[in-house]
Amino acid sequence: MLTGCKDLNEVDDLNIVLAMGIDETPDHQVEVSTEIVDPMGARSSSQSGSGGQRDQAKFIRHGVGKTVEEAVDRLDENVARNLFLSHNTVVIFGRAYAEAGIDRSMDYLERNLSLRRNQLWVVTDDTAAHLLEASGKPELYNALAIRSLVEQGVNKSIAINSTQLRVMRDYLRPSHAPNMAYLTVAHSELCECGVGLFDGSHFRGHLTSKDANGLLLFLGPTQQTEYTLPCSSGKSSTDLQNTFRILGTQTKVVPVMKGSEVQFSVQVRGRAEIERLCQGSKTTPDAYKEFETQISSELQQRMQHVMTKLQKDDVDSVQFATLLYRNNPAVWRKISTKWKDTFPTLTVNYDIHIQLLRNGLASKSPDTEFSPQGLPPRAGRRGSAP
């Protein structure tokens, strides 16, 4: 008496796709690569610690066509069992395809009811097929390894959470410059390397993890970021420098009118803690003020470095146009048609202050507290040894 699913299929009749890669071939066709679960291989991999058998948990298949839709159809025709896309968790764009424009695939990815808008979009300077074939150990599947790497980068504010919904929203906003997680392959293994920059739908390069943190400071709260600064004496070694951890920051960006000129005021406030100090450093109130000044200066330098690069490339990845539209729509309507000429010459004013906390700090090295007199007697509680 109960209704059932119209498209009911047994699991044994499906190919479950976990990741999809989109590349452009030398003859300007589209190649779609998929990572598909191998049920028998996954079962044997879970029962064995052998590295060779782990690769049997998945297999990669490719399809080529004039469009993404045609490439997926060719792929479905050439693989036994039907493709099941509802569990797809990652979409990877190869460099050649992304530079030519990812808008060619947006319609398919947005309108296909089998695909979910919380799937992660990733760009690489290699091919998407190569990224899918790289080692993602200890994960069984590269799709899970890619998501895990990006999530770890987001938690340390060196990567961006580029779900499909977020990328599409930034693409449609006035800045028209979405940011995307960027991964590459190093020594046949996945390597998290920062944020991919887009001008509209066209890939315009990437920022390394260090520079990515400077970009993320513009875009909103950051957390758990480590900063290493040289010793004030100038005699620091590579393994002993001043190290601080930024626990969290809050950013406020406001467009300001100076006559007929638009400027942007960037205010950053945050808290940090000491992880390591150079030898001989004193934890006096004056030293704390000096450390706070150094950290604030380092953050400003990173932000200015990123801003200089973005203005040189004329890519509004900091979303200034969107902020201007929200705060002053009347001004935005006047300069929207010439924003591409305005953005490279914008003046940005910075106000950055990081508060250094004083919790759990040991002011002396454990070695300075050592003395033979402080050791317990060898005979225990009854006195010294005979």
Q: Are 273 and 357 in contact (CB under 8 A)?
A: yes
Which of 207, 237, 272 represents a domain boundary (last residue)? Answer: 207
Give the domain range for residue 288.
218-361
Residues in the chain: 386
257 domain residue, yes or no: yes
Domain count, the chain: 2
For the cut 70, the answer to whether the pLDDT of residue 368 exceeds it is no
Residues 63 and 146 in one domain: yes
For the cut 50, the answer to whether the pLDDT of residue 71 exceeds it is yes
Residues 251 and 161 in one domain: no
pLDDT tier at 140, thresholds 50, 70, 90:
confident
Q: How far apart are CA 19 and CA 132, in angstroms?
A: 8
pLDDT computed for residue 51 by the predictor? 47
pLDDT computed for residue 229 by the predictor? 82
Residues 177 and 232 in one domain: no
Residues 263 and 171 in one domain: no
368 domain residue, yes or no: no
Which of 166, 182, 207 represents a domain boundary (last residue)? Answer: 207
Residues 349 and 306 in one domain: yes
For the cut 90, the answer to whether the pLDDT of residue 199 exceeds it is yes
Range of lowest pLDDT (23-32, 82-91, 262-271): 82-91
For the cut 90, the answer to whether the pLDDT of residue 233 exceeds it is no
For the cut 80, the answer to whether the pLDDT of residue 3 exceeds it is no
374 domain residue, yes or no: no
379 domain residue, yes or no: no
Residues 49 and 128 in one domain: yes
pLDDT tier at 52, thresholds 50, 70, 90:
very low
377 domain residue, yes or no: no
pLDDT computed for residue 83 by the predictor? 83
Residues 19 and 138 in one domain: yes
For the cut 60, the answer to whether the pLDDT of residue 40 exceeds it is yes
Residues 92 and 224 in one domain: no
3 domain residue, yes or no: no
pLDDT computed for residue 6 by the predictor? 54
pLDDT computed for residue 168 by the predictor? 95
Q: How far apart are CA 370 and CA 56, in angstroms?
A: 56
Q: Are 134 and 229 in contact (CB under 8 A)?
A: no
pLDDT computed for residue 50 by the predictor? 47
Domain containing residue 273: CATH number: 3.30.300.210
- Determine the average pLDDT of the residues in 156-160: 89
Range of lowest pLDDT (193-197, 233-237, 369-373): 233-237
What the block records as the tokens of 247 is 């626990």
Which of 187, 207, 227 represents a domain boundary (last residue)? Answer: 207
Q: In this structure, what DSSP letter does residue 259 have?
A: T
pLDDT computed for residue 169 by the predictor? 94
Residues 153 and 291 in one domain: no
pLDDT tier at 57, thresholds 50, 70, 90:
confident
Torsion (CA) 8, 10, 13, 15 in degrees, nearest 10? 80
The rounded percent of the chain whose pLDDT value lies above 70 is: 83
What the block records as the tokens of 164 is 């499909």
Residues 202 and 228 in one domain: no
Residues 188 and 283 in one domain: no
Q: How far apart are CA 294 and CA 292, in angstroms?
A: 5
385 domain residue, yes or no: no
pLDDT computed for residue 41 by the predictor? 59
Range of lowest pLDDT (131-140, 143-152, 335-344): 131-140
Q: Are 22 and 6 in contact (CB under 8 A)?
A: no
311 domain residue, yes or no: yes
Average pLDDT, the chain: 84
Measured from the Cβ of residue 184, the count of other Cβ atoms closer than 10 Å reads 18
The rounded percent of the chain whose pLDDT value lies above 90 is: 46
- Determine the average pLDDT of the residues in 292-314: 92
Residues 325 and 223 in one domain: yes
